[in-house]
Structure 1
């Protein structure tokens, strides 16, 4: 699906976004034109979903983050900046 311009120029960060509702939200935000950052605790899952969404022409990057860990949350925020 081609992205629309509804959220063009916006950046969305979606945690726990490699499966289920989180993935659906990340996909929809990207379809609506946002640049999306996805994250999950498992590197292989992040890579798989980033590739899937990028192959659909969506503006998505990803990184590993366990949101229960302050240091990892800080790195995630820095990654988004």
Structure 2
């Protein structure tokens, strides 16, 4: 745990939390029914850390403005006198 925490610059408790909630894949080596030793592969730790990387957001393209329709003339019924 210490090595994984030091490599990722995080606390050991956060490593344990990631293991408990399934975020960080690991191996538990030891007798059945006992706690055993937890082993973490470097690639798995690097993969989890890469998932947290925040980069520059991609520039969003503004949607094209809707075409402006010309105003429609107002038509009224007219009564014609004979």
| TM-score (norm. length: structure 1) | 0.25
Greater fraction helix: 1
| TM-score (norm. length: structure 2) | 0.25
Greater fraction strand: 1
* Larger Rg belongs to: 2
